[in-house]
């Protein structure tokens, strides 16, 4: 795990580099995990102040159709926690955009961008936890199913990056590590909000994806930018995303403890790659994610995986 001093440096770097709506959603999750109630309220208030009229939270790039929903869980949770009608209304507007305003396929599967009829793996993380936390479990499961039907390779269990609805074909068939990480981490986060059979089904989906991904771990302890292509560079963020899913499932009791052991090992491999400034090195670099470097996502997912590890260890204490 991270020491307190290193964790503070990693968080500081996250706070000074996060800009986009999905970055803010991940930052909200980090602040919520750490009990930073004042900072979380300030972030949520800013997300609502920057909410588009159609309901998209904190969205400075109107081409993004779904990313603002990454903040929805925290706006909704704070609304209930504080009894704040303005926050409740903002969460309802974001929910309404996903349910009826956002562009989608004929079966309701959401497109990632406005003006493009593409289904992206990233969307799973953006929308499934929020829909689940709103009590809209049927919609959450339907979005996961629609994305799985288009993107998951039944032969390997890995997810492709992008599907073009008009072409009826994959437009980016790579098993992009970050894309698989978005799915694993997002689905794992949603399980806590889904009761009964729905939660069990999503938990099974996470386990199946982890079982497909983990054998592709490299000798350096990480995964490749493209999971099944050894010629691509390693990506530290993928290891954090997979660690988060594994440790969350073990801490919440829907994955066996051996997944936590692997999650701790992945977490350690990433901790070893934090530089003196607190930046996670060797991640797919923002803003274009086309080379090794640093990203807000890598900062956030390391902190989220570290928090999940702490929950797992606390749950084992007598």
How many other C-beta atoms lie within 10 A of the C-beta of residue 201? 14
Residue pair 110/102 in contact by the 8 Å Cβ criterion = yes
How confident is the prediction along the chain (318 residues), in pLDDT tens digits per residue? 999 999 999 999 999 999 999 999 999 999 999 999 999 999 999 999 999 999 999 999 999 999 999 999 999 999 999 999 999 999 999 999 999 999 999 999 999 999 999 999 999 999 999 999 999 999 999 999 999 999 999 999 999 999 999 999 999 999 999 999 999 999 999 999 999 999 999 999 999 999 999 999 999 999 999 999 999 999 999 999 999 999 999 999 999 999 999 999 999 999 999 999 999 999 999 999 989 999 999 999 999 999 999 999 998 866
Full-model pTM? 0.97
What's 4-310's CATH class?
Answer: mainly alpha
Which residues, other chains included, contact 175 with Cβ-Cβ below 8 Å and sequence gap of 6+? 153, 156, 158, 159, 160, 161, 226, 227, 228, 229
pLDDT of residue 233: 97
Strands (E), the chain: 118-120, 162-164, 169-172, 223-224, 234-235, 283-284, 292-293
Asked if 225 and 181 count as a contact pair (C-beta separation under 8 A), the reply is no
- CA–CA distance, 312 with 257 (Å, rounded to integer): 9
d(CA 106, CA 165): 10
Q: What is the gyration radius of the CA atoms in the chain, in angstroms?
A: 18
Report the pLDDT value the prediction gives residue 316, as an integer from 0 to 100. Answer: 85
Q: So what's the pLDDT on residue 317?
A: 66
CA 179-183-184 angle, 5° bins? 115
């Amino acid at each position: 795990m991270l020491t307190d001093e290193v964790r503070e440096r990693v968080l500081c770097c996250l706070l000074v580099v996060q800009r986009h709506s999905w970055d803010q959603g991940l930052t909200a999750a980090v602040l919520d995990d750490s009990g930073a109630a004042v900072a979380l309220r300030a972030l949520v208030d800013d997300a609502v102040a920057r909410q588009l009229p159609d309901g998209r939270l904190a969205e400075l790039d109107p081409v993004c159709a779904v990313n603002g929903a990454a903040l929805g869980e925290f706006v909704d949770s704070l609304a209930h926690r504080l009894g704040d009608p303005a926050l409740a209304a903002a969460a309802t507007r974001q929910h309404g955009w996903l349910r009826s305003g956002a562009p989608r396929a004929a079966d309701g599967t959401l497109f990632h961008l406005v003006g493009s009829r593409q289904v992206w793996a990233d969307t799973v993380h953006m929308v499934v936890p929020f829909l689940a936390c709103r009590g809209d479990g049927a919609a959450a499961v339907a979005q996961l199913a629609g994305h799985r039907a288009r993107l998951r390779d039944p032969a390997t269990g890995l997810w492709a990056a992008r599907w073009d609805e008009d072409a009826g074909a994959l437009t980016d068939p790579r098993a992009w590590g970050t894309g698989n990480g978005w799915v694993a981490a997002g689905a794992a986060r949603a399980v806590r909000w889904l009761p009964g059979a729905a939660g069990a089904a999503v938990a099974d989906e996470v386990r199946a994806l982890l079982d497909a991904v983990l054998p592709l771990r490299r000798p350096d302890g990480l995964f490749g930018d493209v999971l099944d292509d050894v010629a691509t560079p390693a990506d530290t963020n993928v290891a954090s995303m997979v660690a988060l899913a594994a440790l969350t499932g073990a801490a919440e009791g829907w994955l066996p403890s051996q997944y936590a052991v692997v999650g701790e090992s992945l977490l350690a491999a990433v901790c070893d790659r934090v530089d003196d400034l607190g930046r996670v090195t060797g991640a797919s670099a923002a803003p274009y994610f086309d080379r090794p470097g640093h990203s807000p996502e890598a900062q956030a997912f390391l902190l989220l995986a570290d928090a999940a590890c702490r929950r797992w260890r606390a749950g084992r204490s007598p």
